[in-house]
Chains A and B, each alone.
Chain A
Amino acid sequence: MSTRTATPPQTPAPGQPGPRGASRTPLWANPRLGLLFLLLALVALFTALRPAFLDTTLTLVPLQSDISVYAVVGLSQLAVLSLGHMNMAVGRMAAMSAFAMGLAYDRLGVSLVVGLVIGLLVGTLLGALAGLVISRTGVNSFVVTLAMDFALVGLITILYTRFTDGVAFSVRPAGMDALRNDTFADYCMGDVCGPYIPLVVPLALVAVLAVGLLFRFSRLGREILMTGANEKAAELSGIPVRSRVVQAHALSGLLAGLAGFLLAANNGAFSARIGDAFLLPSFLGPVLGGTLLAGGAVSVLGTVLGATLTQVIYKGLNLLQFQLDQLNLYIGLVLLGALSLDRVRHVAAERRGARA
Chain B
Amino acid sequence: MSTGTTSARPGGRLRGVTARPEFTLAVLAAAGFVALAVATDGNLLSRGTLDAFFRFLAVPIVIGLSQMVVLAIGQMNLSVGTLTGLCAMVAAWLMLEAGLPAPLAVLGALGVGLAAGLVNGLLVVFTRINGFIVTLATMTIIEGLRYGINGPDTFQGYSQGLRDLGAASLLGLPVVLVFALVVAALVALFFGRAVAGRKLLATGGSPFAARLSGVSNDRSIVIAHGLSGLLAGVAAVITVAASGSVNSSIGDDLLLPSFAAPIIGGVALAGGVVSVAGTCLAAFLVRLVDVMQAQFGINPRWIDLIVGAVVLGAVLLGTARQRLSRRLS
B148: min CB distance to chain A, Å = 6
The answer to the question of B284 belonging to the interface, with a C-beta cut-off of 8 Å to chain A, is no
The answer to the question of B326 belonging to the interface, with a C-beta cut-off of 8 Å to chain A, is no
Is B132 a contact of A293 with CB atoms below 8 Å? yes
Residue on B nearest A151 in the bound complex, by CB = B308
The answer to the question of B127 belonging to the interface, with a C-beta cut-off of 8 Å to chain A, is yes
A343: min CB distance to chain B, Å = 5
Q: Which of A133, A140, A153, A339 contacts B137 (CB 8 A)?
A: A339
Is A329 a contact of B127 with CB atoms below 8 Å? no
Is B309 a contact of A151 with CB atoms below 8 Å? yes
Candidate in A147, A280, A333, A340 with the most chain B CB atoms within 10 angstroms? A147
Residue on B nearest A288 in the bound complex, by CB = B133
Is B312 a contact of A154 with CB atoms below 8 Å? no
In the complex, what distance in Å separates the CA atom of A17 from the CA atom of B306? 41
The answer to the question of B101 belonging to the interface, with a C-beta cut-off of 8 Å to chain A, is no
Known contacts A328-B141, A329-B145: does B259 contact A293 (CB below 8 Å)? no
- A305-328: CB near B (< 8 Å → 1, else 0) gives 000000000000000000101111
Known contacts A149-B256, A150-B256, A155-B305: does B140 contact A329 (CB below 8 Å)? yes
The answer to the question of B144 belonging to the interface, with a C-beta cut-off of 8 Å to chain A, is yes
Residue on A nearest B269 in the bound complex, by CB = A140
The answer to the question of A144 belonging to the interface, with a C-beta cut-off of 8 Å to chain B, is yes
In the complex, what distance in Å separates the CA atom of A339 from the CA atom of B138? 13
Residue on B nearest A160 in the bound complex, by CB = B301
Known contacts A149-B256, A283-B133, A332-B144: does B311 contact A143 (CB below 8 Å)? yes
Known contacts A150-B308, A327-B144, A332-B141: does B134 contact A293 (CB below 8 Å)? no
The answer to the question of B2 belonging to the interface, with a C-beta cut-off of 8 Å to chain A, is no
Residue on A nearest B305 in the bound complex, by CB = A154
Q: Which of A86, A139, A144, A323 contacts B147 (CB 8 A)?
A: A323
The answer to the question of B136 belonging to the interface, with a C-beta cut-off of 8 Å to chain A, is yes
Q: Which of A143, A331, A336 contacts B263 (CB 8 A)?
A: A143
A89: min CB distance to chain B, Å = 10
The answer to the question of B27 belonging to the interface, with a C-beta cut-off of 8 Å to chain A, is no
Contacts of A155 in B (CB 8 A): 301, 305
The answer to the question of A146 belonging to the interface, with a C-beta cut-off of 8 Å to chain B, is yes
Contacts of B134 in A (CB 8 A): 336
- B298-317: CB near A (< 8 Å → 1, else 0) gives 01011111111101100110
Is A150 a contact of B269 with CB atoms below 8 Å? no
Is B145 a contact of A150 with CB atoms below 8 Å? no
The answer to the question of B143 belonging to the interface, with a C-beta cut-off of 8 Å to chain A, is yes
Contacts of B139 in A (CB 8 A): 280, 332
Residue on A nearest B139 in the bound complex, by CB = A332
Contacts of B315 in A (CB 8 A): 137, 139-140, 143-144, 147
Candidate in B133, B137, B248 with the most chain A CB atoms within 10 angstroms? B137
Contacts of A234 in B (CB 8 A): none
Is A154 a contact of B304 with CB atoms below 8 Å? yes
Contacts of B316 in A (CB 8 A): 137, 139
Is B141 a contact of A287 with CB atoms below 8 Å? no
Q: Which of B76, B148, B151 contacts A329 (CB 8 A)?
A: B148
Candidate in A158, A161, A339 with the most chain B CB atoms within 10 angstroms? A339
Contacts of B129 in A (CB 8 A): 339-340, 343
Contacts of B132 in A (CB 8 A): 86, 293
Is A154 a contact of B301 with CB atoms below 8 Å? yes
The answer to the question of B49 belonging to the interface, with a C-beta cut-off of 8 Å to chain A, is no
B1: min CB distance to chain A, Å = 25
Known contacts A142-B269, A329-B145, A336-B123: does B309 contact A147 (CB below 8 Å)? yes
Is A150 a contact of B304 with CB atoms below 8 Å? yes
The size class of the interface chain A forms with chain B is 35 or more
In the complex, what distance in Å separates the CA atom of A311 from the CA atom of B76? 26
For the complex, count residues of B whose C-beta is within 8 A of A: 44
Residue on B nearest A150 in the bound complex, by CB = B308
Is B127 a contact of A146 with CB atoms below 8 Å? no
Is B133 a contact of A280 with CB atoms below 8 Å? no
Residue on A nearest B145 in the bound complex, by CB = A329
The answer to the question of B319 belonging to the interface, with a C-beta cut-off of 8 Å to chain A, is yes
In the complex, what distance in Å separates the CA atom of A259 from the CA atom of B281? 39
Is A339 a contact of B127 with CB atoms below 8 Å? yes
The answer to the question of B128 belonging to the interface, with a C-beta cut-off of 8 Å to chain A, is yes
- A119-162: CB near B (< 8 Å → 1, else 0) gives 00000000000000100011110111011111111110110010
In the complex, what distance in Å separates the CA atom of A154 from the CA atom of B301? 4
The answer to the question of B6 belonging to the interface, with a C-beta cut-off of 8 Å to chain A, is no
Is B319 a contact of A137 with CB atoms below 8 Å? yes
Q: Which of A142, A153, A327 contacts B301 (CB 8 A)?
A: A153
Is A331 a contact of B140 with CB atoms below 8 Å? yes
Candidate in A280, A327, A328 with the most chain B CB atoms within 10 angstroms? A328
B34: min CB distance to chain A, Å = 26
In the complex, what distance in Å separates the CA atom of A327 from the CA atom of B306? 34
Is A146 a contact of B259 with CB atoms below 8 Å? yes
Is A293 a contact of B140 with CB atoms below 8 Å? no
In the complex, what distance in Å separates the CA atom of A154 from the CA atom of B290? 13
In the complex, what distance in Å separates the CA atom of A14 from the CA atom of B54? 44
The answer to the question of A63 belonging to the interface, with a C-beta cut-off of 8 Å to chain B, is no
Q: Which of B140, B151, B259 contacts A332 (CB 8 A)?
A: B140
Residue on B nearest A327 in the bound complex, by CB = B144
Candidate in B139, B260, B304 with the most chain A CB atoms within 10 angstroms? B304
The answer to the question of B156 belonging to the interface, with a C-beta cut-off of 8 Å to chain A, is no
In the complex, what distance in Å separates the CA atom of A309 from the CA atom of B257? 32
The answer to the question of A330 belonging to the interface, with a C-beta cut-off of 8 Å to chain B, is yes
The answer to the question of B18 belonging to the interface, with a C-beta cut-off of 8 Å to chain A, is no
Residue on B nearest A148 in the bound complex, by CB = B308
The answer to the question of B130 belonging to the interface, with a C-beta cut-off of 8 Å to chain A, is yes
A sample of 18 more A-B contacts (CB under 8 A), given A147-B312, A151-B308, A325-B148, is A140-B270, A142-B76, A149-B308, A150-B304, A151-B312, A153-B308, A154-B301, A154-B308, A293-B132, A326-B147, A328-B144, A330-B144, A332-B141, A332-B144, A336-B123, A336-B141, A339-B127, A340-B129
Can you report 5 A-B residue pairs in the complex whose CB atoms are below 8 A from each other?
Answer: A17-B128, A137-B316, A140-B315, A155-B305, A283-B133
